[in-house]
Amino acid sequence: MALVENDMINQPLHYVGEQGLEVEVVLQNFIPRYEDPYVGHRIASAIEYLLRSPLKNGQQDIEKARKNLDQALVYMEAIE
């Protein structure tokens, strides 16, 4: 990937993969599969944290992802 200026508003580098794929594109393609909007939101947040973790907050982002997944699971269990 060519060295580019980090645009923290429109295209932060921690949300762009090695080959230019953006997290936003991944989310647009997969999150609509979730019927429940709350679950979709929690999963999307987890994905964002996991994919950005190597370039942003490391372990803390992985822990945040886990918290989002736990929230989704608690919610899903409660509505069963």
- List the domain range (segments joined by +) for residue 61: 13-79
In a domain, 36, yes or no: yes
Of 23, 24, 43, give the one whose Cα is nearest residue 33.
43
Instruction: Return per-residue pLDDT of the chain as tens, 80 residues.
Output: 455 567 777 777 788 888 989 999 999 999 999 999 999 999 999 999 999 999 999 999 999 999 999 999 999 999 99
> b vs e for 15-44, b when ≥16 Cβ sit within 10 Å of the residue's Cβ?
bbeeeeeebeebbeeeeeeeeeeebbebbb
19 occurs within a structural domain: yes
| Domain count within the chain | 1
Q: Is residue 4 part of a domain?
A: no
* Total-model pTM: 0.84
